[in-house]
Structure 1
């Protein structure tokens, strides 16, 4: 019997009418590097580590911005400190919320997609 392990999810497509702004946003805030190929409409954002690859795709005329049913969550050890850095850079970000042993704060990217910074990944069992 052949072993068919479940494949990992390593990429997410973000549809945007502002791909250059989105690339700059994720690059400046989270260290993503832009990869483009001649003739390809998709702009690929590579993370600085082995994280999730973001693929920016031009939004169609009928697609509403910020109406996604997903939220990108970035793992940070110190939510308060990272949030303060975002505020100093001029980004609007919500308050820090206390959850079950961790903190998180929510905001939106330039296309209105929900984004969160969270310390959940650093909670010890």
Structure 2
């Protein structure tokens, strides 16, 4: 039996600000923005090529403090190209960092160990890792 992770709830203070950040700065697709009533709104966004989405909203999502989620990780085949795209979209992102050492030979020196780090407007922490081949 397969067990797939499909959705991660990301706690935010301002739904519209977060939706704009994830859609415009990160290029996530807006799958839906559903308003049930004044107390319930659910926005689902999916990174390009991902089988897992994030959900931001109020009312029907777990009550977590905005900015309390740390360690979310995206994987890209080319960390330098990803950094350039994020900078082009206006995201403040640092230099590529090498974290650790490769446990085996890889086709590119940044595979497995090349990372970028950034926070969303609420302080939820994200990493981007280069893995060009599995």
Give the TM-score normalised by the residue count of structure 2.
0.70
Aligned mate of 2:29, from 25, 32, 48 = 32
CA contact (8 A) 2:28 2:45 kept: no
Displacement of 1:94 in angstroms is 2.3
1:16 corresponds in structure 2 to 12
1:67 corresponds in structure 2 to 68
Displacement of 1:34 in angstroms is 4.0
Task: Provide the C-alpha distance between the structure 2 equivalents of 1:49 and 1:81, rounded to a whole number of angstroms.
Answer: 16
Task: Provide the C-alpha distance between the structure 2 equivalents of 1:34 and 1:6, rounded to a whole number of angstroms.
Answer: 23
Cα-Cα RMSD = 2.7
- 1:74 and 1:106, CA in 2 relative to 1: closer, same or farther beyond 3 A? same
Give runs of ≥4 in structure 1 deviating > 4 Å. none
- Structure 1 unmatched ranges of 5 or more: none
CA contact (8 A) 1:18 1:110 kept: no
SS in 2 for 1:15: coil
2:87 corresponds in structure 1 to 87
Comparing both structures, which one devotes a greater share of its residues to strand?
2
Count how many residue pairs are aligned between Structure 1 and Structure 2. Answer: 117
Give the TM-score normalised by the residue count of structure 1.
0.74
CA contact (8 A) 1:65 1:111 kept: yes
- 1:48 and 1:96, CA in 2 relative to 1: closer, same or farther beyond 3 A? closer
